[in-house]
Structure 1
Amino acid sequence: MRPMLIGAPAIEPVSLADAKSWLREDGVEEDELIQALIVAARMTLEAYTRRFFVTQSWRLVFDCWPTSVGSSATLSIPFAPFQSVTAIRVFDATDAPQTLNAATYRAPDSTEGGRVSFASAPPAPGRASDGIEIDFDVGYGSLASDAPQPLRQAILTLVAHWREHRGDSGDDALPKSVAQLAAPFRRERLL
């Protein structure tokens, strides 16, 4: 399984204006830096929580179907919050993609992690590598306000920390205040 980002978030959960207000910054000289810190903070906290804050599109690429997928079986998509599957393609022996009819699988919306249930065994790919592509959307929603407020506050706090301590070398851990804000949303790994 290889994940690929195919559609980055259209917005950030924290706007430049919100961050500048939080930082008490009036000028425009540091706008580019602050915007870059917002993106970096979101991505850092998404990795920490194992959740995506705003809607984005991803693709999972498989060589073959996992062993759990067979007749009336399910495929887990380990991304949260899961929104929907947008397409499932299986490549045939001529490298032509065959898009599965949405009626042959079911993927409930808005679940913690996605589960795609197949009515019957899906077709086997005709090529040895990267024979299956599953496109899907994840995130709390397409609006900045859809992201939970504690996560938005964690982004602001991390942006302020990084701006205050830029150039300082030291501990790579999240500041305690940021970790405390994000901890309730953190998904633990099972493996």
Structure 2
Amino acid sequence: MPAILLAGPAAEPITLAEAKIYLRVDHDSEDALIASLITAARATVEALTRRVLIDQGWRIVRDAWPASGLVAAPVNPLREITAAHVVDAAGEEIELALDAFALDTARLPGVIRVARGALPAPGRPLAGIAIDVIAGHGASADHVPSPLIEAVRVVLAHFYEHRDVPGPGAAFPARLDALVAPFRVARL
């Protein structure tokens, strides 16, 4: 069940100014590099934890409605459903009522309960269902757990210090695993 990014975060978990202080950089000549490393560090922490840090819009694509009526969210923490549709045999999108879905956001991964029998079957065999969701800890870094913010800093510093290392580069610091381990979302 793939998930497609519709809208990335409105902000990064740390600002350029915060990153420069953390890296002890007091000039502006590497601002573009540091800004791109912040994004790469956030994406790395998201991949390591299977969590979205700052709210993002995602589309969950399915071929058919699950027999169990439960859809495990591939992006977490799940916050809300913003839209859903099925594609009919003619290729037209049919909007679905959001009250046909219920969210369990207390568990990780989050679960979407689908009202079985109340929704039309897709008219094509592949990718006929789309559920648009918002996932993340909140709209700003204020809602992200502090160990995950620190993990972004650790990865940022690692990327900055090892940017000239060819190949796979140096291993991440051991403390990174200690920071992210409690926040990893298990795969179902």
Q: CA–CA distance in 2 between the matches of 1:136 and 1:36?
A: 26
Q: CA–CA distance in 1 between the matches of 2:35 and 2:116?
A: 47
Length, aligned pairs only? 186
Judged with a 3 Å threshold, the aligned counterparts in structure 2 of structure 1 residues 103 and 166 are, in CA distance, closer, same or farther, namely closer
What CA deviation, in whole Å up to 9, does each residue of 1:68-100 have, x standing for no partner? 2xxxx3222132111011111011122111111
Deviates more, 1:111-120 or 1:147-156: 111-120
Mapping of 1:92-171 within 5 angstroms? 92-109=88-105, 111-121=107-117, 122-169=119-166
| Structure 2 residue matching 1:134: 3-state secondary structure | strand
| Structure 1 residue matching 2:176: 3-state secondary structure | helix
Q: In 2, are the aligned partners of 1:79 and 1:113 still within 8 Å (CA)?
A: yes
- The gaps in structure 1 that reach 5 residues or longer are none
Q: In 2, are the aligned partners of 1:83 and 1:110 still within 8 Å (CA)?
A: no
**1:110 to partner: Cα distance:** 5.6
| Structure 2 residue matching 1:130: 3-state secondary structure | coil
Deviates more, 1:176-185 or 1:27-36: 176-185
| Pairing 1:23–2:23 present | yes
Residue in 2 that maps onto 1:189: 187
Residue in 2 that maps onto 1:35: 35
Q: In 2, are the aligned partners of 1:56 and 1:139 still within 8 Å (CA)?
A: yes
**1:13 to partner: Cα distance:** 0.5
Judged with a 3 Å threshold, the aligned counterparts in structure 2 of structure 1 residues 26 and 172 are, in CA distance, closer, same or farther, namely closer
TM-score (norm. length: structure 2):
0.90
**1:109 to partner: Cα distance:** 4.5
Q: CA–CA distance in 2 between the matches of 1:98 and 1:36?
A: 39
Q: CA–CA distance in 2 between the matches of 1:172 and 1:25?
A: 21
Identity %: 41
Judged with a 3 Å threshold, the aligned counterparts in structure 2 of structure 1 residues 129 and 178 are, in CA distance, closer, same or farther, namely same
Q: In 1, are the aligned partners of 2:54 and 2:144 still within 8 Å (CA)?
A: yes
What CA deviation, in whole Å up to 9, does each residue of 1:33-92 have, x standing for no partner? 111111111101110011110000100112222332xxxx32221321110111110111
Amino acid at match of 2:21: S
Judged with a 3 Å threshold, the aligned counterparts in structure 2 of structure 1 residues 104 and 161 are, in CA distance, closer, same or farther, namely closer
